[in-house]
Structure 1
Amino acid sequence: MRGLLINCTLKRSPESSNTEALASIVVEELRKRQVEVDEIRAVDLDIPPGVKTEMGPGDPWPEVHRKLLDSQILVLASPTWAGRPSSVAQRVIERMDAMLSETDDEGRPVCFNRVAGIVVTGNEDGAHHVISELNGALVDFGYTVPGQSWTYWNKGPGPGPSYGDTEDGHEWSASTGRAMAANLVAVAHALAENPVPAPPS
């Protein structure tokens, strides 16, 4: 089984990413469960705007698209900015929109029988809103979103330290992240055994 983490931090490599730090707990748990996980930091790719899989020469998205199709599990990770997903996460969702019109050899939307989960960090609240926005888009595309397939960390109302600046709340976020990974793998295996059929005409 294969998985893909798309980290939608605003920080380019090799700058430290709080979102990557929390997402790494989920990735580690997936790997313990024999999932091969690729990792992408989307901001490094300079993905152009658009709602097509291929936007012309130099577009890095087709390779991301290929990895999405190779993966049964998607983890989409985003920081919280002004209570919303990052602009990078929105760009990823916009490019994934093209998958709505793509089908497999059996006529199913290509995102059917794949599962997705969300990781969110931020030093102010808004995590549940970000989870809801991203999950809503992924369900529209055809992903299955299992129960409790998310984890998040925030410092609470008002300004404060980032995830990497404090240990406060890490235990809960890590435990929830490990549960998230377990649920993603369990449902991915269930769909492999009993795939969702093509929608009726």
Structure 2
Amino acid sequence: MSTLSAVALVCSLKPSPAQSSSALLARQLLDEFEKFDVTGKSVRVADLDIRPGVTVDEGDGDQWPQVRELILDADILLLATPTWLGHPSSITQRVLERLDAELGETDDAGRPSMAGKVAVVAVVGNEDGAHKVIADVFQGLDDVGFTVPAQGATYWNGEAMHKVDYQDLPEPPEQTLAAGTTLARNAAHLAGLLRNGPYPPP
């Protein structure tokens, strides 16, 4: 049986090569996944031309189809987002809107295209609101067919109204990393179960 795989969509507003706290946390989580035999890759969504819309391909150079193929090929989706004004980034919202197209897509057995895939979330920010951001993102992912594992999120919030970012810390906080280990372990376990015992077709 092939190794489980994960794809991290980094929804920072900053394109590469700018430093990004969301990208840093996503990379740390992919390293955790490797401990549970899950290979992973990361995509900075801001580097791509992802058109607005709710279809699988908006045409005219839209690069969402390439991202969609990465998601379809993976067992686990990690969405990493900063917190802006108490909400997920606008890029995260764009990703969720594009995933809305999957409500009309099915596999060969008639199951929703994303059924059987696991989704986890990572949030960073120097303002409060991580729990709300996680709840909002998980709701959207659940709607389009992803399965959320127990304790499938981790986050870091810096002090409100200050300028210290996650990437500025001398080392990752123990609590964030511990939550990340739990996230990776539970997501890998669930992905393996769903691969071996998929949801029943309609």
Q: Give the TM-score normalised by structure 1.
A: 0.95
In 1, are the aligned partners of 2:122 and 2:155 still within 8 Å (CA)? yes
SS at match of 1:196: coil
SS at match of 1:108: coil
In 2, are the aligned partners of 1:13 and 1:44 still within 8 Å (CA)? yes
1:71 to 61, 66, 74: 74
In 2, are the aligned partners of 1:5 and 1:40 still within 8 Å (CA)? yes
Distance 1:32 1:168, change over 3 A: closer
SS at match of 1:6: strand
In 2, are the aligned partners of 1:22 and 1:174 still within 8 Å (CA)? no
1:110 aligns with 2:113: yes
**Which consecutive aligned stretches of 4+ in structure 1 deviate over 4 angstroms post-superposition?**
none
Matches within 5 A, 1:36-185: 36-167=39-170, 170-185=173-188
Tell me how far apart the structure 2 counterparts of residues 167 and 149 of structure 1 sit (CA, whole Å): 25
Q: How many residues align?
A: 199
Q: Point out the more displaced range, 175-184 or 24-33.
A: 24-33
Name 2:31's counterpart in structure 1: 28
Q: How far did 1:168 drift?
A: 7.7
Tell me how far apart the structure 2 counterparts of residues 114 and 6 of structure 1 sit (CA, whole Å): 15
Instruction: Map Cα deviations across residues 64-121 of structure 1 (whole Å, 9 max, x no partner).
Output: 1111110110000100000100000001111111011100000000111110000000
Tell me how far apart the structure 2 counterparts of residues 169 and 8 of structure 1 sit (CA, whole Å): 20
Tell me how far apart the structure 2 counterparts of residues 84 and 142 of structure 1 sit (CA, whole Å): 22
Tell me how far apart the structure 2 counterparts of residues 157 and 168 of structure 1 sit (CA, whole Å): 20
In 2, are the aligned partners of 1:124 and 1:160 still within 8 Å (CA)? no
For structure 2, the residue ranges without an aligned partner over 5 or more in a row are: none
Name 1:8's counterpart in structure 2: 11
In 2, are the aligned partners of 1:3 and 1:71 still within 8 Å (CA)? yes
Instruction: Map Cα deviations across residues 136-160 of structure 1 (whole Å, 9 max, x no partner).
Output: 0000001100110000000143334
For structure 1, the residue ranges without an aligned partner over 5 or more in a row are: none
Q: Give the TM-score normalised by structure 2.
A: 0.95
Tell me how far apart the structure 2 counterparts of residues 114 and 156 of structure 1 sit (CA, whole Å): 34
In 2, are the aligned partners of 1:25 and 1:178 still within 8 Å (CA)? no
